[in-house]
Amino acid sequence: MLGIFGRADTSMQIVKQLSMVKSAVIRASAALAIDHLTRSDPAPIAEALQRIVDQSKGKEKRNIVDPDAPLVEAIYRLRVR
């Protein structure tokens, strides 16, 4: 819903709440919404996502799917712009 009804500033609000989300599916949906909403000046968003990924590197991950994988993909897409 945030991806559809959100504005450009909504993407940073999603990023701020993303560190509490542990589910890979929810993180993937959030990463898609962030990618969709971020049109101008993607560098701060990419840096904030990178900090989240860096913080979770040392933590144990019990899921088969890496919960940070969608965030890393979103970081790459934002940095290319």
Record the tokens describing residue 73, joined without a space.
Answer: 């993909």
pLDDT reported for residue 3:
79
- Say if residues 38 and 8 touch (Cβ distance below 8 Å): yes
Residue 62 in this model has a pLDDT that exceeds 70: no
> For the chain, which residues make up each domain, given as ranges?
2-80
C-alpha span between 38 and 60 (Å, rounded): 30
Running DSSP on this structure, what letter comes out for residue 36? H
Running DSSP on this structure, what letter comes out for residue 25? H
pLDDT tens figures, 10-53 = 999 999 999 898 888 899 999 999 999 998 889 999 999 999 99
